[in-house]
Amino acid sequence: MSDMRTPLSKVRGLGSAKDGTGHFWHQRVSSVANVFLLSFFIILVISLQGADYATFIDTMQNPLVSVLMLLVILVGCFHMKLGMQIIIEDYVHNEAAKIFAVIGNIFFSSFIALASVVAVLKISFGA
- The CATH number of whichever domain residue 105 belongs to comes to 1.20.1300.10
- Looking at every residue in the chain, the average pLDDT score rounds to 91
In-domain check, residue 68: yes
In this prediction, residue 100 carries a pLDDT of 97
Q: Is the pLDDT of residue 13 over 70?
A: no
The alpha carbon of residue 103 and the mean position of all alpha carbons in its chain are separated, in whole angstroms, by 15
d(CA 105, CA 75): 15
Residue 52: inside a domain = yes
Segment 34-57 shows an average pLDDT of 97
Interaxial angle between packed helices 53-60 and 95-124, expressed in degrees from 0 to 180 and rounded to the nearest 10: 100
Residue 5 lies in a domain: no
pLDDT tens sequence across 52-96: 999 999 999 999 999 999 999 999 999 999 999 999 999 999 999
* Percent of the chain's residues with pLDDT above 70: 84
> What's the domain count of the chain?
1
> Is the residue at 14 inside a domain?
no
- Domain of residue 71: give its range: 20-124
**Does residue 66 form part of some domain?**
yes
